[in-house]
Amino acid sequence: MRRGDESLLRDFFPCEVADRILKLSSVLVSFSGGVDSSAILALLAGIMPDGTFHSVLFDSFLHPEKERERAVSLCRDLGVDLRVLPGPELSDDRVMGNLEGRCAFCKELRICEILRLKEEMGIDTIVDGTNHDDLQDPTRLGNSVLNRYPVFSPLAEAGLSKRRVRDLAKELDIPWWNETATACMATRFPLGTSLRADEAKRAYDAEECLKELGLEVRVRVWNDSICLELSPYRDETVVTFREPIVKGLKSLGFRRIMVDLEGYSTGRTWP
């Protein structure tokens, strides 16, 4: 992992966005440990003067612990000040009840908490890792909240696609530059189902178990039943791996294991 510099900035960003970044006086980055926020954090770490660059991470069971751990490691290695705060959504009934619109509620709660921290620390600008493709995705309900608050999204304003952001992350030697994105764990459960830390971890462990078999799968969970969503036309691979899949998932306490013949697509809800 390495810090960015002005040369790399101008390679990836149009002049007007690059110039705006270079004029930032103090910044608070909303950091998750995902590819996008890792790329913008590492880039700015080498551009912002000492003492002017800070980051904030929300600790929540809705996101894998692995992402939190690597986020802390990245900030430590790059010398970036990191504040870890409890996810405000954890005490919100709309989010914990997995109600429709949950994503927007969660996004607003987090932005308001970051704004509070920004004022407390006397920082001028909040930066996040939203990219251009995110803004084109109607299933990302949290994006609608961004327009109502003063958040600078350099990747989106520069028109950088997810693929281009991965190129940037690769240039910055971020080890997970090409890793598949992990959506909020709430998406694994039916709307209206109360979210629990132990169940979220079990769903995550199920996906990791399948990943070890070489399968990229989104799981959907209801009590002790689990449904596997693979890429379309990959369902035959489940037959090949039937025994290790059944063994692995039953070891996690799942009694009924199913496959969705329509496969995985973004924005689908369960059931």
The domain boundary residue, chosen from 121, 138, 171: 171
Residue 269 near residue 229, CB atoms below 8 Å: no
Looking at residue 18, which CATH number applies to its domain? 3.40.50.620
The domain boundary residue, chosen from 117, 139, 171: 171
> For residue 243, is it left (φ>0), alpha (ψ between -120 and 50) or beta?
alpha
Q: Judge if 167 and 247 occupy the same domain.
A: no
In a domain, 178, yes or no: no
- What's the mean pLDDT in 54-72? 95
| pLDDT over 70 percentage in the chain | 98
Q: Judge if 164 and 192 occupy the same domain.
A: no
pLDDT of residue 234: 62
Q: Judge if 21 and 153 occupy the same domain.
A: yes
Rounded-to-integer distance, Cα 220 and Cα 186, Å: 10
Closest of 185, 183, 34, 201 to residue 96, by C-alpha: 185
Mean confidence (pLDDT) of the chain: 94
Position 262 confidence tier, pLDDT thresholds 50, 70, 90: confident
In a domain, 206, yes or no: yes
Q: Judge if 30 and 90 occupy the same domain.
A: yes
Residue 184 near residue 60, CB atoms below 8 Å: no
In a domain, 176, yes or no: no
Catalytic residue among 75, 106, 112, 184: 184
* pLDDT (tens digit per residue) in 143-186: 778 889 999 999 999 999 999 999 999 999 999 999 988 889 99
Query: What residues pair up with 220 in beta bridges, in sequence order?
Result: 227
Cis peptide before 271 (omega within 30 of 0): yes
Q: Judge if 137 and 78 occupy the same domain.
A: yes
Domain count for the chain: 2
- What's the mean pLDDT in 236-265? 90
pLDDT of residue 270: 78
The domain boundary residue, chosen from 144, 171, 198: 171
Closest of 153, 91, 88 to residue 117, by C-alpha: 88
Position 136 confidence tier, pLDDT thresholds 50, 70, 90: confident
Is residue 233 predicted with pLDDT exceeding 70?
no
Q: Judge if 54 and 136 occupy the same domain.
A: yes
In a domain, 264, yes or no: no
184 is catalytic: yes
Q: Judge if 148 and 213 occupy the same domain.
A: no
Position 38 confidence tier, pLDDT thresholds 50, 70, 90: very high
Range of the domain at 63: 6-171
pLDDT of residue 238: 77
Q: Judge if 139 and 209 occupy the same domain.
A: no
In a domain, 200, yes or no: yes
